[in-house]
Amino acid sequence: MNDVQVIEQNGKPAFYVVPAAIWESVRDAIEDAEDAMAASQALANDDGIRFPNEVMKDIISGASRLRAWRNYRGMTVQALAEAAGLSKAFVSQIESGKRTGTTDSLSKLARALGAPIGAIIATTD
């Protein structure tokens, strides 16, 4: 640490000048600590729901979550409706946002898609 220069004002240390190698080492350690903290926070807030890449691409392109999962599973609206025991018109209205669906109907759709219900329900946060 002999390479650290101390600049004093009024007899007290006011600034420390360190060689670039030391600064880079400290900066890297701080960035690593920030990354570890962010990872810990992400794990603490993890809701357990995972989205396949194809589903996320579809959602980002403007598809509803339900439509994105249906597309991912390669199902038609008719096939999804039949698998969930719902009408094709009702499923189509939920996909388009014209209807929200009940907890029961959304649960049926999620089961038919093999997805957690939270993955097909749009959230505002």
Mean pLDDT for 98-114 is 94
The pLDDT value recorded for residue 42 is: 87
Query: If you search the block for the tokens 């890449």, which residue do you land on?
Result: 53
9-25: b or e for each residue (b if 16 or more CB lie within 10 Å)? eeeeeeeeeeeeeeeee
**Domain 53-120 is classified in which CATH homologous superfamily?**
lambda repressor-like DNA-binding domains (1.10.260.40)
Interval 46-102: pLDDT, tens: 877 888 999 999 999 999 999 999 999 999 999 999 999 999 999 999 999 899 889
Work out the pLDDT band at 123, boundaries 50, 70, 90: low
What does the domain layout of the chain look like in residue ranges? Answer: 5-44, 53-120
Which two structure tokens, joined as six digits, stand for 89? 């018109």
The pLDDT value recorded for residue 52 is: 93
The pLDDT value recorded for residue 61 is: 95
List C-alpha distances in Å: 23 to 28, 50, 113, 115.
9, 39, 52, 48
Interval 7-62: pLDDT, tens: 999 999 999 999 999 999 999 999 999 999 999 998 888 877 888 999 999 999 99
Query: If you search the block for the tokens 């999620």, which residue do you land on?
Result: 110
CB atoms within 10 A of CB 45: 7
Q: Cβ(95)–Cβ(69) under 8 Å?
A: no
- Among candidate residues 58, 125, 124, the one with its CA nearest the CA of residue 95: 58
